[in-house]
Amino acid sequence: MNLELDDIQRELVALTSEACETFAKQWRTSTAERGESLKALADIGILGVRHPEPHGSGLSAVEAVLSAFVCGAALAPTPLLVWADLVGSALPETLAGSVTVTGSFDHARGVSYGGRTDQVVLVDSAGAHVLDSKAVAWESVPHIDPTLPRAVVRGAIAANGVAVADADEVDRWRWQFADLVSAHLVGVGVGALDSAVAYAKERQQFGRPIGSFQAVKHMLADTYTSLEMARSQVQIAALCWSERNPGAPDQAIAAAVVATRGAIQAAQTAIQVHGGMGFTAEAVPHLYYKRALQLQDDLLAAGVHAKQLLHRDLTLHG
């Protein structure tokens, strides 16, 4: 299987990188409204990469994850991008960036940007409904990632929600969510690793850059290997998705497992390489670590975790 990028894919990565560079500082330091950056991503076709024109770019899930790798490294607002992608077929205005949307597979655990978007998608046993965020009572709750404010629904949910997916479609969303979030996690890991490498080249101990020490080299090399394995698995899962391969759900779950592991390892490595500075609010590594933990929790809320992968493996081979 050839995972090398073609010219169109390389152009997409470059375009996404340029756009993310514009908003990276804002994404890392502010919990303010993200509408401006989402509209900018929508205007160049990044928000709806895998959706058909005119609302999307007419590409595939493979290109969607390539773009997500870059967005993850820039700490883009993952929940807003992923939920716009999931509901884009039913709500094309989200792909245009004119309407912001968030959601949750288990809103009792909290909703990222809950109450801060135009619309919210809530899932229950019957399917998914989209509601005006103002029609829902929200209560802010503590959250792991300071750049992803969260809130929970309090009181009765308004009955005027519009159905956008039945239970079967929501089941498909779960593994598609896993694939997209996994791509962001790989990007988070790459961003953390890049920050560690840059610091290791600059920080001096005993008159030498700490990156010249064998122990640091091994740490960084092991992390790089882990992330490249995760990147390959995410791309394979996306390829299965785009080709409607029946194994796509299994591949997506596998991607979630290795991408979560790789991102957390990379963030922990970055913190360790930065030393005491890595634990401070002034340093970037703690943001990558907290984003990885929050996305791991979002995957658990979607019902995607290692036990599910093990269950599928036993079903197939037991």
Specify the CATH number for 168-317; select among 1.20.140.10, 3.90.650.10, 3.40.50.720, 1.10.490.10.
Answer: 1.20.140.10
Is the pLDDT assigned to residue 166 strictly greater than 50?
Answer: yes
User: Residue 279's pLDDT is what?
Assistant: 81
The average confidence (pLDDT) of the chain is 89
Q: How confident is the model at residue 311 (pLDDT cuts 50, 70, 90)?
A: very low
Domain boundaries defined on the chain:
168-317
User: pLDDT tens digit string along 3-14?
Assistant: 788 899 999 999
**Global pTM value:** 0.92
Is the pLDDT assigned to residue 316 strictly greater than 70?
Answer: no
User: pLDDT tens digit string along 115-150?
Assistant: 999 999 999 888 999 999 998 899 999 989 999 999
Give the 3-state DSSP-derived string for the chain, with helices as H, strands as E and coil as C: CCCCCCHHHHHHHHHHHHHHHHHHHHHHHCCCCCHHHHHHHHHCCCCCCCCCCCCCCCCCHHHHHHHHHHHHHCCCCHHHHHHHHHCCCCCHHHHCCCCCEEEECCHHHCEECCCCCCEEEEEECCEEEEEEHHHCCEEEECCCCCCCCEEEECCCCCCCCEEEEEHHHHHHHHHHHHHHHHHHHHHHHHHHHHHHHHHHHHCEECCEEHHHCHHHHHHHHHHHHHHHHHHHHHHHHHHHHHCCCCCHHHHHHHHHHHHHHHHHHHHHHHHHHHHHHHHCCCCCHHHHHHHHHHHHHHHHHCCCCHHHHHHHHHHHHC
